Amino acid sequence: METIDLRSDTVTQPTPEMRAAMAAAAVGDDVFDDDPTVHRLQEMAAEKVGKEAGLFVPSGTMGNLIALLVHCGRGDEAILGARAHTVLYEGGGISSLGGIHSRQVMERSDGSLALEDLEALIRPEDVHQPPTRLISIENTHNRCGGTFQTPEYLRSLAEFAHARGLVVHMDGARLFNAAVAQGVDARKLTSAVDSVTFCLSKGLCAPVGSVLCGSKPFIKRARHIRKHLGGGMRQAGIIAAAGIVALENMVERLSEDHARARNLATGLREIACIQLDGIPPTNMVFFNLTDSVTLTAEQIEARMQERGILVHATGKRRFRLVTHYWIDDTAVEKTIDAFKAVLS
């Protein structure tokens, strides 16, 4: 039985075209900065987001960590959303490795940070307080339901920050989902921010890697910090080749994932004991179970797995389902039917 895996878009495997590109990739030594395929990927990535340069890194977590280590010194403060990936799922690296103090603000329902809330958090010049250096914004926002930020909001956020001497970093792990959902070029979402990282290994289907982009001086410093963190790779062109295919061929088709997420949500809405968050803006479907359901989340996961479907509970009565390249229309229909059977 073929498995339908809706736990995350991180489970995507490389396409046949990616595997062929990986096998044929020209390589060098990226620590010596002479891998031609890595160079091409970095140049493509920077062009895609309208920045001067890019740096290939093993993960989005490392990309975010490097960005904050470049922008902030030890004892500096970064403002982040309380439900941001960097706060919840990156091991506290900015604090443990960078000595960066995080100040958290609750996001609005769409994942944005209210400017009036940010204004109240910016520290005055005071020896007793850590100096505020940076604001980080997540786009799309995972824990806010795969919501996206608009070009207008991002410009206003950057103008607000820059007027106060602050920089803006974007955790754009699913940046291209945000762009495709709005029908805009990704550069409209990134032009105003100072740095951005995006993942190749989620909806874009590459096996591994993210790219951090910014100015040339920023990336020069980022390369040093990547080395400090053990992120320097050798013949990395083999995996960078898959990233090139991802940027060339996998961006526009993200709209298919969004459509299937909407279809999945529409079908699940018909099940009385499922309380859907709403129609998903991108590729994530979030829902809660009513009190009438006696099964535990673990039992539901197990019974769905018996039917060949992997799902992920994010709480005792809450689930997140994520569509991606390997989820087709038939998989959506089977998932709806399986939930109906398990929850009946």
What is the tens place of the pLDDT at every residue in 46-92?
999 999 999 999 999 999 999 999 999 999 999 999 999 999 999 99
Position 329 in a domain? yes
Residue 55 burial by Cβ neighbours in a 10 Å radius (0-12, 13-18, 19+): buried
Residue 301 and residue 158 share a domain? no
Number of domains in the chain: 2
Which of 222, 249, 276 terminates a domain? The answer is 249
State the average pLDDT for the chain.
Answer: 97
Does 324 score more than 90 pLDDT?
A: yes
Which of 249, 275, 294 terminates a domain? The answer is 249
pLDDT at res. 50: 98
Residue 198 and residue 311 share a domain? no
- Give 226's contacts (C-beta < 8 A, 6+ positions apart): 55, 57, 62, 66, 232
**CATH number of the structural domain spanning residue 56:** 3.40.640.10
Position 180 in a domain? yes
Position 5 in a domain? no
Which of 214, 249, 284 terminates a domain? The answer is 249
Quote the CA–CA distance of 148 and 121 in Å, as a whole number: 23
CA-CA-CA-CA torsion sign (14, 41, 176, 185): negative
Residue 185 and residue 62 share a domain? yes
Q: What is the mean pLDDT of residues 104-114?
A: 97
Residue 335 and residue 285 share a domain? yes
Does 97 score more than 90 pLDDT?
A: yes
Residue 280 and residue 206 share a domain? no
Question: What are 74-86's pLDDT values in tens digits?
Answer: 999 999 999 999 9
Position 6 in a domain? no
Does 13 score more than 70 pLDDT?
A: yes
Q: Which of 66, 65, 80 is nearest to 133 (CA)?
A: 80
Position 8 in a domain? no
Residue 151 and residue 113 share a domain? yes
Rg of the chain, C-alpha, whole Å: 21
The share of the chain scoring above pLDDT 90, in percent, equals 99
Question: What are 264-293's pLDDT values in tens digits?
Answer: 999 999 999 999 999 999 999 999 999 999
CA-CA-CA-CA torsion sign (238, 239, 245, 248): negative
**Roughly how many angstroms between the first and final C-alpha of the chain, as a whole number?**
23
Enter the pTM of the model: 0.95
In the DSSP assignment, the letter for residue 112 is -
Domain of 177, in residue numbers: 13-249
pLDDT at res. 143: 95
Instruction: Quickly state the pLDDT bin for 137 (edges 50, 70, 90).
Output: very high
pLDDT at res. 1: 61
pLDDT at res. 311: 98
Does 332 score more than 70 pLDDT?
A: yes
Residue 193 and residue 83 share a domain? yes
Position 263 in a domain? yes
Quote the CA–CA distance of 175 and 204 in Å, as a whole number: 10
